[in-house]
Structure 1
């Protein structure tokens, strides 16, 4: 089965692209950005030579399941297309993995997660009122372009959403800077698109409402049993970590539910405590990781999922998907930068 179809089967009724035809892929980073200007068409991405099927599936699932962590092209979604930079960028940042306080010999995360769950404080939105749940996030790597040789390029994508209690949602997206997982990829794509980096990017022209038929699926499960089913606690810890990011990308998670999520994660084998972590936005948090092991017979790539939580409120601050071997590099990251209640749209 094609990896994209596997992702859609995994999402089930939550798949925002049911019934949507996905045309052929672009061939270059330049074409990818130009294609993203049109919300009427979607684009599949070229597969990476030598990339494992597991890596392709996980990267696609991160982008599709975490709706707020929107990629460059709306391949599995029908929300407004992003606003691209004024020019395709040459140069760009080479990403370095986030450092952990406990880099080796980590211990099971269960006791630490239970302790955190038992002492949570209110998030700002727990006390606020307002018609809309407003969220702002940035992500990289959800939708990437690969050269035939395996060089990767992706743009940072910022997304803002305004969601009502009944699930109606308005959103806008803006493409920001280009970033790369390694220097070789940066050198390759700089040669392919030798243009100066833009001085800035245009903000999307105001929020637009997403299809209303998706609204019923945007209500957060309540109760520990329902949350356990939503998280898929029978799956490996790395897969559960992706679902956690998806939940926080979609919702302003209330304090009681945050505590339940942490308690559920504490009972899942495979989460490792990493202690203090500073995320890419400079925020201090605490981290847990879960390894992803490819199925037997596939390319022996080792990967890891990182979740960074606020040590006081238990909110999820950030998520990273890292390749550990044969290379050590970032393949995807997401930052949940702002969450609050508001009566203002836009």
Structure 2
């Protein structure tokens, strides 16, 4: 999900976002998701070089989760330790945090008293300054059911971030701030969605990435390590996932195993809500972070012009 739909994210069925699952349910859901979402990609995914092929197995999920049931998320703690042990990164300079991403998801239409969903996609270029000013270009994907080109410019405060900046790096304090943005009452997926939203707009220096991973590692509400998992750009990452309380959705985050940065965020429909038709399980939202860096100036041009210098 992009800023284009951020204001409606919590209210839309297609991108809306718990009791913990037992090991057997975890293995079953993971196996179904891999067979349906990875081995048999949608037509749009099959035509794209970003179709994913998870590298983990059901046995790996059991091994990571453990026979005693849900535990603190050990793989996230281990990744946090590894990132924290890396040499300190040089502070990046530049007024704007430039994010290049792609989104796959669902558009909805009413038909015969039911809501019919169709696959949709778009590419995004976002430039955001710390005062909340900037620009977002939405770029149509040729040959796919894509949202049209558009460009929006924002004055200070128009691109509000999830967190106050500089971002807190004490995990317990950071977790409390994230809960204000994404209340835990929504279910155990709250934390995955909150962290994904941070990456949609914020610069994430090394200490921030470590703190976000430690927030995940603190959770004891059924988050599960899924081991190695490739994103739709073919990059190998480490995945953590959780089902909603009703087992109707499953959320997944994929992290870079070296830098600890988020590579992708996925929301999967396991069971359709009332009045919604479509095969299940299916990906209802997939956000792929292709590049994030600091730049000094907004590029010339806008979506569809070919003049941005970033495309």
| TM-score (normalised: structure 2) | 0.65
Preserved contact between residue 132 and residue 157 of structure 2 (Cα < 8 Å):
no
Corresponding position of 1:156: 121
Preserved contact between residue 121 and residue 141 of structure 2 (Cα < 8 Å):
yes
Structure-2 separation of matches of 1:250 and 1:328: 29
State how many pairs are aligned.
242
Worse overlay, 325-334 or 266-275: 325-334
Q: In the alignment, which of 223, 233, 236 is matched to residue 284 of structure 1?
A: 236
Q: In structure 1, the residue corresponding to 2:189 is in which secondary structure?
A: helix
Corresponding position of 1:101: 56
Offset at 1:337?
Answer: 0.8
Unaligned runs of 5+ in 1: 1-14, 18-43, 46-53, 62-90, 178-196, 295-300
Corresponding position of 1:209: 153
Does 2:282 align with 1:334?
no
Offset at 1:209?
Answer: 2.0
After TM superposition, list the pairs within 5 Å mapping 1:10-21 onto structure 2. none
Corresponding position of 2:132: 167
After TM superposition, list the pairs within 5 Å mapping 1:61-80 onto structure 2. 61=17
Structure-1 separation of matches of 2:206 and 2:231: 22
Q: CA RMSD in A?
A: 3.7
Structure-2 separation of matches of 1:238 and 1:212: 31
Offset at 1:239?
Answer: 1.6
Corresponding position of 1:322: 268
Corresponding position of 1:190: none
Offset at 1:132?
Answer: 1.4
Structure-2 separation of matches of 1:139 and 1:262: 23
Does 2:177 align with 1:230?
yes
Q: In structure 1, the residue corresponding to 2:286 is in which secondary structure?
A: strand
Preserved contact between residue 109 and residue 288 of structure 1 (Cα < 8 Å):
no
Q: Deviations over 1:32-60 (max 9, x none)?
A: xxxxxxxxxxxx99xxxxxxxx9955723
Offset at 1:110?
Answer: 1.7
Structure-1 separation of matches of 2:116 and 2:12: 14
Q: Deviations over 1:271-308 (max 9, x none)?
A: 100000000111110000011123xxxxxx62210100
Structure-1 separation of matches of 2:12 and 2:145: 32
Distance change (3 Å), C-alpha of 1:199 and 1:102: closer
Structure-1 separation of matches of 2:249 and 2:261: 24
Offset at 1:322?
Answer: 1.2
Structure-1 separation of matches of 2:227 and 2:161: 34
Q: In the alignment, which of 58, 64, 79 is matched to residue 116 of structure 1?
A: 79
Distance change (3 Å), C-alpha of 1:101 and 1:16: closer
After TM superposition, list the pairs within 5 Å mapping 1:1-346 onto structure 2. 56-57=12-13, 59-61=15-17, 92-93=43-44, 99=54, 101-103=56-58, 104-105=61-62, 106-107=64-65, 108=71, 110-120=73-83, 127-141=91-105, 143-145=107-109, 147-148=111-112, 149-176=114-141, 197=143, 204=150, 208-214=152-158, 217=161, 219-220=164-165, 221-224=167-170, 225-232=172-179, 234-235=184-185, 236-269=187-220, 270-294=222-246, 302-325=248-271, 327-346=280-299
Unaligned runs of 5+ in 2: 18-41, 66-70, 273-279, 300-311
Structure-2 separation of matches of 1:142 and 1:132: 30
